[in-house]
């Protein structure tokens, strides 16, 4: 555990380190792992170019908030000032549709493309991406949308949790 913590984490990292990055590169800086709207606002203030709403594929804290559950509040806080990318759990076209409807500018695939790579190399990755795109295209059409811009939160219905008793 100590070896893992020493290799993967740097608890000393602060928001000021983002200022350092911003000052030392003209490349776009995207902040990944944002799940709280306050962090999103702070990132915008610091001149970050984009966010990735992500719980890193659910691989960090057991029981943490799902990325999709965090997305609407983060997107709301950003108010379209910078792109909001989304990942963790995107497996098919309907997942893409839901993420876009809840405020994502774009989505990223994590493990699915690696599975494709393991099975069939580059062709496997192309298959995975092609299938996700085709399924998204189909979902778009079946939901009555002709272009991505028409996918909004009104495209989804929030079901009430069943009440006890």
Give the residues lining the site for ligand FMN (CB under 6 A): 32, 54, 56-57, 59, 87-90, 109-111
Catalytic choice (41, 56, 81, 91):
56
Q: Are 79 and 103 in contact (CB under 8 A)?
A: no
SS3 at position 5: helix
In the numeric block, the tokens 């608890």 are attached to 11
User: Would you state the structure tokens that stand for residue 146, as one six-digit string?
Assistant: 């002709």
Q: Are 77 and 37 in contact (CB under 8 A)?
A: yes
Query: Closer to ligand FMN at the Cβ: 1 or 161?
Result: 1
User: Would you state the structure tokens that stand for residue 144, as one six-digit string?
Assistant: 């009555």
Query: Closer to ligand FMN at the Cβ: 32 or 153?
Result: 32
Q: Give the containing element (helix H, strand E) for 68.
A: helix 67-78
- CA pair distance 79, 70, nearest whole angstrom: 15
Give least dist CB 146 to ligand FMN, A.
Answer: 28
Give least dist CB 85 to ligand FMN, A.
Answer: 10
User: Which residue's C-beta sits nearest to ligand FMN?
Assistant: 110
Query: Closer to ligand FMN at the Cβ: 64 or 145?
Result: 64
Q: Is 97 exposed, middle or buried (0-12, 13-18, 19+ CB in 10 A)?
A: buried
Q: Are 148 and 100 in contact (CB under 8 A)?
A: yes
Task: Judge whether 24 counts as a catalytic residue.
Answer: no
Query: Closer to ligand FMN at the Cβ: 77 or 107?
Result: 107
* Catalytic positions, written as ranges: 56
């Amino acid at each position: 555990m100590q070896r893992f913590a020493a290799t993967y984490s740097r608890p000393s990292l602060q928001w000021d380190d983002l200022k350092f990055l911003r000052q030392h590169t003209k490349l776009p800086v995207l902040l990944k792992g944002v799940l709280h709207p306050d962090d999103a606002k702070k990132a915008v203030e610091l001149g970050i170019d984009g966010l990735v709403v992500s719980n890193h594929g659910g691989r960090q804290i057991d029981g943490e908030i799902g990325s999709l559950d965090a997305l609407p509040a983060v997107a709301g806080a950003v108010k379209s000032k910078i792109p909001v990318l989304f990942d963790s759990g995107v497996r098919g076209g309907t997942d893409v549709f839901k993420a876009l409807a809840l405020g994502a500018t774009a989505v990223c695939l994590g493990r699915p493309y690696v599975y494709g790579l393991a099975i069939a190399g580059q062709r496997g990755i192309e298959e995975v991406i092609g299938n996700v795109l085709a399924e998204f295209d189909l979902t778009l059409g079946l939901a009555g949308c002709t272009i991505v811009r028409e996918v909004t939160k009104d495209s989804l219905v929030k079901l009430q949790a069943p009440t006890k008793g």
